[in-house]
Structure 1
Amino acid sequence: MTAARTPVNRITVTYGDSPSTFGHIYHATSAPAGTIPGGRMRPVVLIHGGYWSDEFSLTIQSAIARQYAQSGALVWNIEYRRVGQAGGGWPGTGRDVLAAIRALDDLVPAALDPQVAHRVDWSQVAVVGHSAGGQLAVWATAQLRARTRHCVISTVIAQSAALNLEAAARAGSESVRRLIGRPYEEAPHLYREASPSAQEPFDAHVVAVHTADDEAIPLVVSRRYVELMTERGQSAELVVVPGEGHSAFCDPRSRANRETARLLGI
């Protein structure tokens, strides 16, 4: 990533009717070389984590979004309705993320200066999600079959993500139960419908990046996801980041973040 302090624009875009259905677009004011050969800008959708709870918001990704924009990406850092808010939880939270990604077709480019929008390669969208956001990133891409009307999602990066909600529920995860809103024993089908591990393979490459010292979601979750989904035909790989924990992905100085940037090509 570039070390230069490139000035960055931030634009707020609303994609729904709820106070939480909005996002921030970040892009360099005098764009650097770009993230794709030929000076094109790669669109990167950021989906924050935080147990799907309204105790956390998109601001935990603001520093990362700004850093990626300084490196030449067009960043769409999204908010969504969370548990504790009207309409939050399942399926409302998932529907918001779908709507936010679909906003790449119209609302996001419409908010850009035409000269900036022209430089964006909408066929190389990357969706990056941390923890609970990783569940949303993989699930939403699967639902969209890695395509919107005008965009193609080529890469999904799931950072220490909740990739098997059924297993998490059976293990007693309270945050997963609160997301779904009903005990696993009463509605196992809802947990399966929301679980990335239960989705059909799609035409994008999934990278499960996991910190080796993760204290919140065990490394085995990502390892099993990659093993299961590659057997089913999904393009997927596991990248293990040594020496860091779960929250490292929110730190612009961390090795986990540098690894994510490398995978994005920025």
Structure 2
Amino acid sequence: MSRRCPVRRVKIEYGDEPSQFGHLYFPREGFDPEHARVVVLIHGGSWSAEYSLTIQTAVAREMSGRGALVWNIEYRRVGEPGGGWPETGRDVLDAIRALDGPVRDALSEQGLDPAGVDFSTVGVVGHSAGGHLAVWAVGQLGARTATTRITTVVAEAAVLDTVSGADKPALRALMGRPFGESPRRYREASPMLAPVFDAHVVAIHGDADDLVPLESSRRYVEDAVARGQSAELIVVPGEGHEAFVDPRSACARQTVRVLGI
């Protein structure tokens, strides 16, 4: 299979609400076992309904063009019915669990054999607010669903500490109340406080990021490793927060390299 094969996209619903769906990308001509890794993409955008999964369309197409099965998920966000914590987090859990059924069913309906895809080395990638959701969700799942194993989590310029960032307006909007009124809610949502899980977390951060400080990823990795979590930090020089949604950027290329696709 060439490094840039034609891709197809299908919409799959994993729940009954309008935002409980995702776009599944896959090579049009079938899978090459060497590159057929499963990747779950979780978009950012301050957990707000102002942004959607289309932020990740170009990245999803690039990864699928390299042979991967890419599940670009949507979820209920702040500003729409049901959005906010904990429902936003629960949607992400359900979307990842959809790999067990709806995603495999869709492949079969498209005439592709799910057995040609490696569901034992799933990668979960989240950018910014999506990085928060990625690390939190994989921790909640224990890096497994009923039929899959998650081996890599890529946290791209991610919000990884919901306690120290509790004063940020977007985070307060997600939580629905100030930290002083519900500190437990902020702690339970924090990747920094997530249980150790059997997957490798790679925090990738541009050193020119003026939205989410590089130091936050550095601090997360240091703390995670001290707690026994497999984790590492990759610093990309000269790129900022939005570089990850451009598949031509060095940040995006680092993600592809980490995933091995």
TM superposition score normalised by structure 1: 0.95
1:19 and 1:44 map into 2 onto residues whose CA distance is 23
Task: Give the match for residue 154 of structure 1.
Answer: 151
Task: Give the match for residue 101 of structure 1.
Answer: 96
Contact 1:39 1:119 survives alignment (8 Å): no
Contact 1:53 1:84 survives alignment (8 Å): yes
Picking from 202, 206, 209, the partner of 1:211 is: 206
SS at match of 2:248: coil
Q: Deviations over 1:124-145 (max 9, x none)?
A: 0000000000000000000000
The answer on 1:124 being equivalent to 2:121 is yes
Q: Deviations over 1:99-133 (max 9, x none)?
A: 00000001100000353412110100000000000
Picking from 129, 133, 141, the partner of 2:130 is: 133
1:116 and 1:55 map into 2 onto residues whose CA distance is 36
Task: Give the match for residue 64 of structure 1.
Answer: 59
2:140 and 2:59 map into 1 onto residues whose CA distance is 26
2:30 and 2:46 map into 1 onto residues whose CA distance is 34
Q: Shift of residue 3 of structure 1?
A: 5.2
2:89 and 2:131 map into 1 onto residues whose CA distance is 12
SS at match of 1:190: helix
SS at match of 1:247: helix
Picking from 42, 47, 55, the partner of 2:37 is: 42
Identity among equivalent pairs (%): 58
Instruction: Count matched residues.
Output: 259
Partner letter of residue 105 of structure 1?
D
2:224 and 2:104 map into 1 onto residues whose CA distance is 33
Picking from 232, 235, 239, the partner of 2:230 is: 235
Contact 1:40 1:119 survives alignment (8 Å): no
Once the two structures are overlaid, the 10-residue window that deviates more, 217-226 or 112-121, is 112-121
The answer on 1:86 being equivalent to 2:81 is yes
Task: Give the match for residue 145 of structure 1.
Answer: 142
SS at match of 1:163: coil
Unaligned runs of 5+ in 2: none
**RMSD of Structure 2 on Structure 1 (CA):** 1.3
Task: Give the match for residue 167 of structure 1.
Answer: 164
Structure 1 stretches of at least 4 aligned residues deviating more than 2 Å after TM superposition: 113-116
1:233 and 1:139 map into 2 onto residues whose CA distance is 16
2:230 and 2:125 map into 1 onto residues whose CA distance is 16
1:31 and 1:115 map into 2 onto residues whose CA distance is 7
1:31 and 1:265 map into 2 onto residues whose CA distance is 18
Task: Give the match for residue 28 of structure 1.
Answer: 27
Task: Give the match for residue 176 of structure 1.
Answer: 171
SS at match of 1:166: coil
Unaligned runs of 5+ in 1: none
Q: Shift of residue 40 of structure 1?
A: 5.5
Q: Shift of residue 39 of structure 1?
A: 2.9
SS at match of 1:122: strand
